[in-house]
Structure 1
Amino acid sequence: MIQEIKSLKFPKSNIISINGIELEVFEAGKENIGNPIVLCHGFPEHAFSWRYQIPALAKAGYHVIVPNQRGYGNSSRPKEVTAYDITHLTDDLVALLDYYNYRDAVFVGHDWGANVVWNLALLHPERVNKILNLALPYQERGEKPWIQFMEEIFGEDFYFVHFNKKPGVADAVLENHAENFLRNLFRKNVPLAPPEPGMLMMNLAKAEKPFGEPIMNDVDLSVFVTAFKNSGFNGAINWYRNLDRNWHVLADIDPIIKQPTLMIYGNLDMIPKFERLQDFVPNLDVICLECGHHIQQELPHETNESILKWLAKFNG
């Protein structure tokens, strides 16, 4: 059931059939055909997280395409865990371009969406002409699969590991506390490190007193709450359950990102900056903003200014 989103004149969605599933897609700037930009949300988010960027990019001359990726919103939620691996996630974006008859596009990602964009550029480099990623830098493929490595470093209670080792447990906790979890998560300028950071997500779900200043009002928050009460969290968490599978998928792939790239960090984000990013992304610019993890929602004006100024370099 599609919920009409009325905040900020957010565009209505369409359900389109691609890659064997259905995606809920929001569009703006349809008159700017031929100049596509695709915005990819993170976890646990929604296309609505780009509400401040969509009108600015459309006004600047872009055909803005914003999917709820598989597992989110009113998009398909396959039951099989492997249906959420990086091959399926990137193939969805390729099929989205095919649907609109675009050879390539500018891709913008935040958090998990950034991970998908990085890997799209590795697996389908001809479909990506520029990259703008927020919060999550390129993830180097090390000698050990990612979940195995994280368990050795952080222990079995680290939420990435917990999601994989105890399937269904976190899903149920977050679903039973969806509103509290999302209200506690979307906070300004607060590093996401409660007393037991290993159990981060479930601690946030159960915390009685939120910390930090909210990044959105109750009306906007209700969009996320309603979406996750409808979809649940299983599909979204299944993205994490494919990290080691993704590690194997990428084994023989050239790890260098060749497209022009802008990386935007939040200086108060708990995710560390990747000091060797330019080794893997040689055509790189970096911007740091004084905010936490939810960059485009915490500092929308500054984010829009950074994105548009960078893109303008290529339009002269």
Structure 2
Amino acid sequence: MLNSIEFPKPVLISVNGVQLEVFEAGRENAGKPIVLCHGWPEHAFSWRHQMAALAAVGYHVIVPNQRGYGNSSRPAEVTDYDIEHLSGDLIALLDYYGYKDATFVGHDWGAMVVWGLTLLHPDRVNKVINLSLPYQERGEKPWIELMEELLGGDYYFVHFNRQPGVADTVLDNNTFRFLRNLYRKNEPLKQPEPGMMMINLANAEAPLGEPLMSDSELAVFVSAFEASGFTGSINWYRNLDRNWRLLASVNPIIQHPALMIYGDRDMIPKFEKLKEFVPNARVVNLDCGHWIQQEKPEETNQAILRWLKQQDSN
């Protein structure tokens, strides 16, 4: 199925009590690992434009389908998707390859995991590159509780937690339509509709804007979620308040060199206090929406490669 562009065949690797489906490039560059972590509702295939570019400049590129996705394990317990488990999978992956540390790159939820991983296991991370989702400040209230107050019960993070199984069923029953309607670019600005955004997308007859990818590329995502269903991946959201508690005693400051790439048309707001929590962060803004590395692959690659080169010369 992964045939619309040159994409490596996966291997299944047993780590941390689960099996992860892992795609690699640049194995000949052993010793210089970079791990790419996808978001929701994505797949390792979302990094297809970055893998060869990173391998070409000397990286061993490791791209897992994280737990709940693709052909990786989908544990039944909701708590098996908390930040300790998700970051533990990545640490175990480093151990499997015999690496002390690596550069970690995350997009969307993958960025959330990379921030959390860096807080929990700072010695296993040498550099951080995150797209779309900036560092999330841990305030006095758990995240879902805060979102419910500010954004209401229909906000999809809150809905996933307060109405377990409802959205999962709608997305499972409308997988193609949901993903087709979600993966768009250059969408016209419009007023938010009432109701839950992801359910609305799954039920919408016609997509807005332009398709982000070709039909054969979209088919990779559709076939993966038709096989796996959405519950495992949505369970990541169901651990936000648990993660808030798990991070209570962790030093919140990340001293690692970090690159934050924003899409100027992304719905996710930029974090004004990024430098307070990540003092060595450099920020790049691209003229695109949420799906940064797929919408602007060349510009994303240039930003990443330029920054990595600067770090290597420091």
Q: Distance in 2 between matches of 1:254 and 1:197?
A: 39
Mapped partners of 2:221, 2:62: distance in 1: 19
**Aligned pair in 2 of structure 1 residues 126, 302: CA closer, same or farther (>3 Å)?**
same
Q: CA deviation at 1:198?
A: 5.3
Q: Aligned to 1:9, what secondary structure does the other structure show?
A: coil
State the alpha-carbon separation in 1 of the partners of residues 53 and 116 from structure 2: 26
Instruction: Name the structure 2 match of 1:223.
Output: 220
Residue segments in structure 1 that go unaligned for 5+ positions in a row: none
Match of 2:9 in 1: 12
What residue is the counterpart of 2:310 in the other structure?
Answer: 313
Q: Deviation per CA, 1:245-289, whole angstroms, max 9, x where unpaired?
A: 000000010000110000000000000000000000000100000
Report the counterpart of residue 201 of structure 1 in structure 2.
198
Write the mapping of 1:184-199 to structure 2, written as runs, cut at 5 A: 184-190=181-187, 195-196=192-193, 199=196
In the TM superposition, residue 179 of structure 1 has moved relative to its aligned partner by 0.3
Q: 1:193 to 1:25 in 2, by over 3 A?
A: farther
One-letter amino acid of the counterpart of residue 42, structure 1: G
CA distance in 1, matches of 2:264, 2:308: 22
Q: Secondary structure at the match of 1:142?
A: coil
How do 1:229-240 residues align onto structure 2 when only pairs under 5 Å count? 229-240=226-237
Pick from 251, 255, 263 the counterpart of residue 254 of structure 1.
Answer: 251
Partner of 2:104: 107
Question: Structure 1 residues 134, 210: closer, same or farther in 2, change over 3 A?
Answer: same
Q: Is the 8 A contact 1:187 1:214 kept in 2?
A: yes
Correspondence for 2:137: 140
SS of residue paired to 1:22: strand
Judging changes above 3 Å, is the alpha-carbon distance between structure 1 residues 36 and 194 closer, same or farther for their aligned structure 2 residues? farther
Q: Percent identity?
A: 69
Asked if structure 2 preserves the Cα contact closer than 8 Å seen for 1:191 and 1:268, the reply is no
Cα separation, partners in 2 of 1:96 and 1:43, compared to 1, 3 Å: same
Is 1:263 the counterpart of 2:260 in the alignment? Answer: yes
Distance 1:82 1:112 in 2: 16
CA distance in 2, matches of 1:227, 1:193: 30
TM-aligned CA distance change 1:219 to 1:142, over 3 Å: same
In the superposition, the TM-score normalised over structure 1's length comes to: 0.97
Residue of structure 1 aligned with 2:174, choices 166, 169, 177: 177
Match of 2:24 among 17, 27, 30: 27
In structure 2, relative to structure 1, the CA distance for the partners of 1:194 and 1:100 (3 Å cut) is farther
Matches within 5 A, 1:295-310: 295-310=292-307
Matched residue of 2:272: which SS? coil
Q: Equivalents in 2 of 1:194, 1:297: separation in Å? A: 25
Any stretches of 5+ residues in structure 2 without a counterpart? none
CA–CA distance in structure 2, aligned partners of residues 193 and 263 of structure 1: 27
Q: Which residue of 2 aligns with 1:158?
A: 155
Tell me if structure 2 keeps the 8 A contact 1:258–1:283. Answer: yes
Looking at structure 1, the residues matched to 259 and 189 of structure 2 have their Cα atoms a distance apart, in angstroms, of 24
CA shift at 1:189, angstroms?
2.9
Q: Secondary structure at the match of 1:254?
A: coil
Q: What does the per-residue CA deviation read over 1:80-109, in whole Å, with 9 as the maximum and x for residues that have no partner?
A: 000000000000000000000000000000
Change in Cα spacing, 1:198 to 1:150, as seen in structure 2 (3 Å) is: farther
CA apart distance, 1:5: 1.4
1:44 matched to which residue of 2?
41
TM-score after normalising by structure 2: 0.98
How many Å separate the matches in 2 of 1:178 and 1:55? 29
